[in-house]
């Protein structure tokens, strides 16, 4: 008799975490070594609270739903931000529960916090000779994971931001008056997503005209000069800023709110783009808009990158295969073997590499002035947003899978 | 020898104004009565400044570009907000220019201001027995035009807002903590677009939970009660508000900024959703996000309604056919002849009906409490967002047409 596989999702959503889940389930359903695939509801919290569903029962009877899962954003199984306490009691509790459910393979999809969970559990298992293989599947829209060429979830968020910039550029191009649009991209400490906005550029459409990443100290004075200079050349100037830009003293620009009223008596607003909007209104006086796509950039399943969806799916399969091959304390990853044509190869890497680390944009990939990126960055980014996904639509809207639509009670696993 | 046709675009952008332009050009290219189709750059301003291109030359040599035009947002010919002064001199100037270019058919695509231009010019032409047929093609994302079942541009904006709400709902559904999201929809005086967000609702996904239109006076106290009540039932509450909601004294909620600091010493923020965010943060204290899709809702060509694109295209053809049939001072329009199946018929109507009028949401289509819409509204809205458009993509991004990509100088019409 085989063992069971337990899988969960953790951290913030991306458009393709469910693609990884679908890849892992599909591989698991075909593997003879695996009896049942169990899903933890809300990550490790679901395990601790015995809130577990039987994914084998669910998807063996609804095979077409696996494809819909592959193309649905957010997290089918729900998320948590649970941090292991590190206590012996908690570890023992977790491994007792895994033993109770006869789990031989534990798969966890998440960012670097979740990879730390994978590391802690696999270390504990190794110390106590417990035969549960614990494997991570990486994800984050921020692209700040170490030990992987680029993170699953990043390509789709990058495509969304670039599409936004392009559509805003078309929107503003119709008037012959001066205007500035400031678009705020996610990524508190890493500027990858902000950088990806440059993919919007086309022959005669140079938007975004200015791009500010958090890796370079931000000067409000330089920003005003940059915008004024671009306004001499263009009617409509589009700026993309990272939410996490900081001044030379390390203070977030978004924290610079309400330093009293400006010279017109208006209160300054909080938020990076809102603050910079008030600055340009005051210093330039033209029409200014601040745009903050916010959570839409991580959840826009209707405009995913096909490259991203497929890679996320494959990383799901690779993780399960690694567990079956006897690996533990690893995560599935990919390296780029060629830019033109774009090729990657999949492998696994010690989870210690990725846990609690952070990959920021190299200074050499940002231009000297700190207001644009270099050609190396563009070469790196370009393939990641490629390919259009056939998002399922019904009645005019994306038709995503929802665990609450399926009959959970009937599927619920109780031993 | 035939006459020439002059066409222009005016007002704010929508995702399908270019579909109407494509429909008019395609019909015009096939019409024997029309020698050349000229495009005014930036609407009537282009006529006055002799900034005109020859669209026949441009599209006869690039026929595949007409399809791309049909699927590109914003305005190929650029826009203006030019208001006729009504002076005899200005009228004479305009008609002299039309005569100089041998124009027999003048087509203008725009909202109710632009339809007023059509009315004034056609009235003047009729008074002076000038044989130029002047016909309007309607557009607006606000759906506030009179004399038409629904406005071209509305269906695509409605689809965008509903898709946003659905994706935000999936994004927030993954956590088991309490949160409120407040999404601000365009539509200063008419709540159609806000209402359309309810199309996001699905079996187990009741977002948006609350919807506030500008047609009903908004009470902040009632809003707080509504949100608290929904939070008792749901972890994540999603609210959609119109940018133009006003209190019982007719004051915009968005104007309620900075009435000093709140009880925690934070400045209150401007903008409808930003203000309501600060209210809920103070009164409820859970996680709150304000989301303002802003211009993205009118320019998201990548998620257009097929129904909307096709209707806009057809209204372009109908306008040109009407001009050829000898009509002037009319606009092309459509009436709904059936809901199930959804059917429309096209016709023309006196432009006086639409010019400077405004269609607001009937009170009977909003629920008693003023925080939701009725089933009649849903029946009206449902067909308008249907159908997925094959947006042209290149290198992973929407590949829209841009007049600056075409060789304007070579195409420029100078007599």
Q: What is the pLDDT of residue B404?
A: 77
Q: What is the pLDDT of residue A94?
A: 97
Q: What is the pLDDT of residue B270?
A: 60
- Give residue-wise pLDDT tens across range A291-339: 999 999 999 999 999 999 999 999 999 999 999 999 999 999 999 999 9
Residues of B in contact with A302 (CB under 8 A): 163, 167, 303
Band (pLDDT 50/70/90 cuts) for residue B264 is very low
- Percentage with pLDDT > 70 across chain A: 94
Q: What is the pLDDT of residue B413?
A: 56
A36 has pLDDT over 90: yes
B265 has pLDDT over 50: no
Q: What is the pLDDT of residue A408?
A: 54
CB contact residues (below 8 A), chain B span 354-393, against chain A: 382, 385-388, 393
- Give residue-wise pLDDT tens across range B269-286: 468 999 999 999 999 999
pLDDT, averaged across chain B = 93
Partner residue opposite A267 with nearest CB, options B267, B299, B393: B267
Band (pLDDT 50/70/90 cuts) for residue A184 is very high
| SS3 (DSSP) at B12 | coil
- Give residue-wise pLDDT tens across range B177-235: 999 999 999 998 999 999 999 999 988 889 999 999 999 999 999 999 999 999 999 99
Q: How many CB atoms lie within 10 A of CB A85?
A: 10
A266 has pLDDT over 90: no
Instruction: Identify which has the larger pLDDT, B34 or B407.
Output: B34
Band (pLDDT 50/70/90 cuts) for residue B175 is confident
Are A236 and A173 in contact, with CB atoms under 8 Å apart? Answer: yes
Q: Say which of B35, B131, B142, B262 is annotated catalytic.
A: B142
- A interface mutation test: which of B167, B291, B386 has the most A CBs within 10 A? B167
Band (pLDDT 50/70/90 cuts) for residue B65 is very high
Band (pLDDT 50/70/90 cuts) for residue A401 is very high
A239 has pLDDT over 60: yes
Q: What is the pLDDT of residue B266?
A: 46
Buried b (16+ CB within 10 A) or exposed e, A124-135: bbeeeebebbbb
- Give residue-wise pLDDT tens across range A41-72: 999 999 999 999 999 999 988 888 999 999 99
Partner residue opposite B289 with nearest CB, options A269, A295, A301: A295
C-beta atoms of B171 and A295 within 8 A: yes
Band (pLDDT 50/70/90 cuts) for residue A270 is low
Long-range contacts of A55-64 (CB under 8 A, 24+ apart): A55/A7, A55/A25, A55/A28, A56/A28, A56/A29, A57/A411, A57/A413, A58/A406, A58/A411, A59/A25, A59/A29, A60/A29, A62/A406
- Percentage with pLDDT > 90 across chain B: 87
Q: What is the pLDDT of residue B407?
A: 57
**Chain B nearest C-alpha distance from A224 (Å):** 23
Residues of A in contact with B267 (CB under 8 A): 257-258, 267, 270
- Give residue-wise pLDDT tens across range B102-114: 999 999 999 999 9
Q: Order of strands, edge to edge, in the sheet holding B52-54?
A: B52-54, B34-40, B3-9, B103-110, B133-138, B330-338, B343-350
Q: Residue B360, exposed/middle/buried by CB under 10 A (0-12, 13-18, 19+)?
A: middle
- Give residue-wise pLDDT tens across range A191-236: 999 999 999 998 888 999 999 999 999 999 999 999 999 999 999 9
Band (pLDDT 50/70/90 cuts) for residue B80 is very high
Q: What is the pLDDT of residue A410?
A: 45
Say which residue the tokens 């100089």 belong to: B100
Q: What is the pLDDT of residue A256?
A: 79
Q: What is the pLDDT of residue A2?
A: 87
- A interface mutation test: which of B397, B399, B409 has the most A CBs within 10 A? B397
Instruction: Identify which has the larger pLDDT, B406 or B5.
Output: B5
Q: How many CB atoms lie within 10 A of CB A408?
A: 12
A263 has pLDDT over 70: no
Farthest CA pair distance, chain A: 76
C-alpha span between A346 and A349 (Å, rounded): 10
B410 has pLDDT over 50: no
Residues of B in contact with A173 (CB under 8 A): 74, 78, 402
Partner residue opposite B301 with nearest CB, options A159, A167, A181: A167
pLDDT, averaged across chain A = 93
**Chain A nearest C-alpha distance from B346 (Å):** 23
Band (pLDDT 50/70/90 cuts) for residue B412 is low
Q: What is the mean pLDDT of residues B245-250?
A: 95
C-beta atoms of A167 and B302 within 8 A: yes
C-beta atoms of A397 and B163 within 8 A: yes
Instruction: Answer whether B262 touches A (CB < 8 Å).
Output: no
Instruction: Answer whether A270 touches B (CB < 8 Å).
Output: yes
Q: What is the mean pLDDT of residues A96-104?
A: 97
Q: What is the pLDDT of residue B267?
A: 47
Q: What is the mean pLDDT of residues B242-260?
A: 84
């Amino acid at each position: 008799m085989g063992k069971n596989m337990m899988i969960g999702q953790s951290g913030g959503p991306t458009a393709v975490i469910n693609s990884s889940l679908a890849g892992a389930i599909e591989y698991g359903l075909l593997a003879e070594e695996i009896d049942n695939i169990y899903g933890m509801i809300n990550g490790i919290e679901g395990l601790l609270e015995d809130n577990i569903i039987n994914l084998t029962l669910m998807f063996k009877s609804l095979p077409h739903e696996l494809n819909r899962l592959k193309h649905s954003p957010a997290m089918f199984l729900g998320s948590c931000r649970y941090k292991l306490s590190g206590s012996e009691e908690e570890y023992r509790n977790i491994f007792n529960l895994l033993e109770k459910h006869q789990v031989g393979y534990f798969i966890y999809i998440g960012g670097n916090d979740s990879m730390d969970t994978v590391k802690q559990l696999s270390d504990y298992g190794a110390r106590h000779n417990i035969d549960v293989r614990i494997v991570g599947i990486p994800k984050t829209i921020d692209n700040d994971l170490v030990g992987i060429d680029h993170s699953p979830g990043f390509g789709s968020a990058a495509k969304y931001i670039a599409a936004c910039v392009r559509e805003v550029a078309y929107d503003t191009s119709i008037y012959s008056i001066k205007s500035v649009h400031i678009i705020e991209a996610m990524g508190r400490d890493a500027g990858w997503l902000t950088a990806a906005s440059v993919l919007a550029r086309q022959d005669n459409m140079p938007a975004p005209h200015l791009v500010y990443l958090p890796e370079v100290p931000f000067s409000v004075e330089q920003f005003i000069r940059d915008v004024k200079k671009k306004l001499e050349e263009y009617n409509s100037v589009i700026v993309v800023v990272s939410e996490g830009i900081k001044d030379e003293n390390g203070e977030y620009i978004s924290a610079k709110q309400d330093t009293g009223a400006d010279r017109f008596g208006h209160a300054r607003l909080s938020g990076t783009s809102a603050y910079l909007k008030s600055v340009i209104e005051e210093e330039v006086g033209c029409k200014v808009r601040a745009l903050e796509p916010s959570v839409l950039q991580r959840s826009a399943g209707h405009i995913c990158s096909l490259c991203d969806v497929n890679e996320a799916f494959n990383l799901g399969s690779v993780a399960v295969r690694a567990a079956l091959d006897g690996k533990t304390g690893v995560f599935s990853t990919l390296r780029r073997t060629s830019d033109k044509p774009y090729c990657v190869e999949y492998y696994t890497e010690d989870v210690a590499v990725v846990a609690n680390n952070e990959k920021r944009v190299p200074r050499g990939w940002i231009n000297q002035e700190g207001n644009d990126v270099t050609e190396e960055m563009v070469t790196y980014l370009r393939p990641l947003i490629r390919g259009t996904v056939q998002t399922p639509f019904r009645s005019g809207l994306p038709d995503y899978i929802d665990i609450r639509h399926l009959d959970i009670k009937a599927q619920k696993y109780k031993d």
